[in-house]
């Protein structure tokens, strides 16, 4: 799994396609170069990172529907689902 991170935009992409990650990385690099050439100065924190992800910890939607109870104590489906933590190792 690959991630491209940009100091200004945050996470650009998370993908298992290395070529897609490389394209996004190069695109962000060129964007910074054009910006600095246009603006004429550096901010000092321009950074784009291409990283190979080893582990990913995140919130994930479960398949369990959320149920609430109305005033008569009847179950009502909200249309939402519950979530839980998930960790993936690559």
pLDDT tens digits, 40-65: 776 767 799 999 999 999 999 888 88
Average pLDDT over residues 6-17: 94
Average pLDDT over residues 23-51: 85
Q: DSSP code of 12?
A: E
Rounded Cα gap, residues 85 and 62, in angstroms: 9
**Average pLDDT score, the chain:** 90
Is the pTM value of this prediction over 0.75?
no
- Of the pLDDT bands very low, low, confident and very high (cuts 50, 70, 90), residue 33 is confident
């Amino acid at each position: 799994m690959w991630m491209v991170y940009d100091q200004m935009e945050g996470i650009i992409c998370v993908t298992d396609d290395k070529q897609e990650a490389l394209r996004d990385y190069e695109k962000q690099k060129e964007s910074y170069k054009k910006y600095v050439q246009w603006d004429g100065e550096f901010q000092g924190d321009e950074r784009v990172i291409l990283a190979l992800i080893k582990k990913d910890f995140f919130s994930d939607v479960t398949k369990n529907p959320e149920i609430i109870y109305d005033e008569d104590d009847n179950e009502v489906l909200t249309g939402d689902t519950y979530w839980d933590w998930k960790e993936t190792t690559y």
